[in-house]
A and B are shown apart, each in its own frame.
Chain A
Amino acid sequence: MSTTVANTGTEVKTWGGGNEPLKASYGKMMMWFFIVSDALTFSGFLAAYGFSRFKFIDAWPIADEVFTHVPFLHGQELPMIYVAFMTFVLIMSSVTMVLAVDAGHHLNKAKVTLYMFLTIIGGIIFVGSQAWEWATFIKGDFGAVQTKGGNILQFVDTDGHRVALRDFVVAGEHERVQQERKNGIWFVEEGTLPPYTVEEVVHGLEKHENILVRTQLLDEHGHKTVLSREESLKQLKNNGKLVVEGANLHVNEYGSPLFADFFFFITGFHGFHVFSGVVINIIIFFNVVLGTYERRKSYEMVEKVGLYWHFVDLVWVFVFTFFYLV
């Protein structure tokens, strides 16, 4: 407010620069306009996600089948529970932030300190949860085979339950070893090799009568198509090219590689915003503790970082809907 801005002595003149038609300080207004531009960046990402999804509308991965894990509850299928928890943590930290802003209006230093601290803790819990989510996604679950056309073949039993590669494929002796920088051609390396070859998966499928192939294609009820036994073997033998476990930017056991690309890009960009929000909050927290705003008689800086922090929460609400729900 006025105490933080140098007075120019022109406040009374309409065109002198002291006029505030929007009744908001320069800093706060610029934070709002930054938020507008950042919102457009995020909507660009989400709209691009929508583009890819409409492009592959009949073969897009089903988020409920991808994000089913909760820490410490290993092996249980609990779709969305963990993301809902993350959403709640972020909304809760938004609440503590707005309480800090409110306490700032009453110039109550002790309360601002406490609420800023709780906000930072909430942010750290969220970023940690997201790291765990990423690790689970990258590690993968059941494994799949990618075809020549880049489609994913997954495996189910006759009841329609997913079957992991490790449950029916036996790994043989592999002659091929991973190329590292220190051996073979100097300074050339490659990613981790898949634990099985396509031939081993074919053998495994031949031996287990009750296992079928499931393609990416969605039927009219939104379920993925399960092939018959003969078609399963035929599809795998003719088109199977690469065994995939987990996800990276090139391949993805859950379906279209674009799904993983957008997951990494959008949640990564959002996570980066949360991380920078936590860093800015920590800086402001120390300023509060040192009494900078107490001496200034204005906690407007808390309000400005608060706007940014709420914006991060706002973006997550949309990411949650378009990545996990819709």
Chain B
Amino acid sequence: MAHAHKLEIFRGLVKFKSNTQKIWGVLVFLTIVTAVEVVLGIYKPESLMKHVLGMKGLNWIFIILTLVKAYYITWDFMHMRDETKGLRRAVVWTTIFLILYLIFILLQEGGYVFRVYDDGFIKRDF
């Protein structure tokens, strides 16, 4: 196990010579992604503020970049890439399925409560 690291990232586009090199490569990538997020967060380009699927386009970009970072932290820092398929699926799919369900229920209900306030059944603007 100790020397069986898979050294490719980006689906084989980049291949590192050693595990140590791969770690630094992933750090560089994660730093770039974080820097992009911070720059976008400070300047908030007008063109990305349009609503796409009920949310600002910029927020979708942030969420996708976060999932990208989460993937590389789990796969390369936590060595998920080197685990067996069984362990990987047991951990990743269980979590993703339960979290998607949780998010769907809570955000749906949050929107409902907002509409109850908004339609004037309950007054809170005083």
A binds B: yes
B-binding segment of A19-27, A201-209, A267-275: A19-27
**Dominant secondary structure of chain B at its interface with chain A:** helix
Contacts of A35 in B (CB 8 A): 91
Judged by a CB distance under 8 angstroms, whether A121 is at the interface is no
Question: CA–CA, A50 to B55, complex, Å?
Answer: 13
Question: CA–CA, A207 to B111, complex, Å?
Answer: 42
Give the shortest distance, in Å, between B13 (CB) and chain A (any CB): 21
Q: Are A326 and B63 in contact (CB under 8 A)?
A: yes
Q: Are B66 and A22 in contact (CB under 8 A)?
A: no
Contacts of B78 in A (CB 8 A): 306-307, 310-311, 314
Judged by a CB distance under 8 angstroms, whether A98 is at the interface is yes
Interface string of A172-211 (1 = CB under 8 A from B): 0000000000000000000000000000000000000000
Contacts of A311 in B (CB 8 A): 78
Question: CA–CA, A64 to B62, complex, Å?
Answer: 15
Judged by a CB distance under 8 angstroms, whether A170 is at the interface is no
Query: Residue A40 contacts which of B27, B49, B99 (CB distance < 8 angstroms)?
Result: B99
Q: Which B residues from 56 to 104 make CB contacts under 8 A with A? A: 56, 59, 62-63, 65-66, 69-70, 73-74, 76-79, 83-84, 86-87, 90-91, 94-95, 98-99, 102-103
Interface string of B39-59 (1 = CB under 8 A from A): 001100000010000001001
Q: Are A91 and B27 in contact (CB under 8 A)?
A: yes
Judged by a CB distance under 8 angstroms, whether A239 is at the interface is yes
Q: Are B20 and A99 in contact (CB under 8 A)?
A: yes
Judged by a CB distance under 8 angstroms, whether A279 is at the interface is no
Q: Are A55 and B113 in contact (CB under 8 A)?
A: yes
Question: CA–CA, A57 to B113, complex, Å?
Answer: 10
B-binding segment of A137-145, A282-290, A316-324: A316-324
Judged by a CB distance under 8 angstroms, whether A132 is at the interface is no
Contacts of A56 in B (CB 8 A): 114
Q: Are A43 and B102 in contact (CB under 8 A)?
A: yes
Judged by a CB distance under 8 angstroms, whether B3 is at the interface is yes
Q: Are A29 and B2 in contact (CB under 8 A)?
A: no
B-binding segment of A10-18, A123-131, A146-154, A247-255: A146-154
Contacts of B35 in A (CB 8 A): 84
Interface string of A75-94 (1 = CB under 8 A from B): 00001110010011001101
Give the shortest distance, in Å, between B4 (CB) and chain A (any CB): 10
Give the shortest distance, in Å, between A159 (CB) and chain B (any CB): 20
Give the shortest distance, in Å, between A183 (CB) and chain B (any CB): 36
Give the shortest distance, in Å, between B8 (CB) and chain A (any CB): 17
Nearest residue, chain A, Cβ from B18? A102
Question: CA–CA, A52 to B125, complex, Å?
Answer: 17
Question: CA–CA, A30 to B62, complex, Å?
Answer: 32
Judged by a CB distance under 8 angstroms, whether B14 is at the interface is no
Give the shortest distance, in Å, between A12 (CB) and chain B (any CB): 20
Query: Residue B110 contacts which of A50, A91, A310 (CB distance < 8 angstroms)?
Result: A50
Using a CB–CB cutoff of 8 Å, the interface residues on chain B facing chain A are 1-3, 19-20, 23-24, 27, 30-31, 34-35, 37-38, 41-42, 49, 56, 59, 62-63, 65-66, 69-70, 73-74, 76-79, 83-84, 86-87, 90-91, 94-95, 98-99, 102-103, 106-107, 109-111, 113-114, 117-118, 123-126
Given contacts A40-B99, A51-B109, A98-B23, 14 further A-B contacts (CB under 8 A): A24-B87, A36-B95, A40-B98, A44-B102, A51-B107, A53-B110, A88-B34, A91-B27, A91-B30, A91-B31, A95-B77, A98-B77, A151-B125, A221-B49
Q: List 24 A-B contacts (CB under 8 A).
A: A22-B84, A24-B84, A24-B87, A39-B99, A44-B102, A51-B109, A54-B107, A55-B117, A79-B41, A80-B38, A81-B38, A94-B77, A102-B20, A105-B19, A148-B126, A149-B125, A151-B126, A222-B49, A239-B126, A321-B37, A321-B62, A321-B65, A325-B37, A325-B62
